[in-house]
Amino acid sequence: MSDENAGIPSEEKSPMVELTGLWSHQGQNKEKFLCGSIGGATVFVFKNKYKEKDKQPDYRLCVARNRRKDEPGEFIEDAQDPHSEAPGVDDSNMPF
C-alpha cells in the first residue's frame, strides 16, 4: 500500500484517481478559494461570481504554470480570481 492510500478505508478506494489535494486560502481581497498543485502547475478553484442560470457552473477551475524561482513575476500565493471585480456578491454561503 502506498502512503497516499494510508488510512483510507477500503470501501472508499474506488476507480477514481485522486489528482491532488486542495487547500483553502483567502486572497488579499478577502475572497476565499482553493488551490493545489498538479505536476508543474498550480490549480485554483474560485466561486463563479457571475452565475445567473442553473446551466452555468458554480465554480471555476483555473490553472497557472508554476514559475521558476529565477523567473520574475508574482508569487502563486498572491494569485487571485481573474474575475474578482464582481460587485455585490455574497460569499457567505461558500462551502470552503
The pLDDT tens digits for 18-50 are 899 999 999 888 889 999 999 889 999 999 999
Contact 4, 12 (CB under 8 A): no
What nine digits make up the cell of 58? 458554480
In which residue are the cell numbers 463563479 written?
48
Q: Which of 1-5, 55-59, 86-90, 91-95 has the lowest mean pLDDT?
A: 86-90
How far apart (Å, rounded) are the C-alpha atoms in residues 64 and 94?
23
Confidence at residue 61, expressed as pLDDT on a 0 to 100 scale: 96
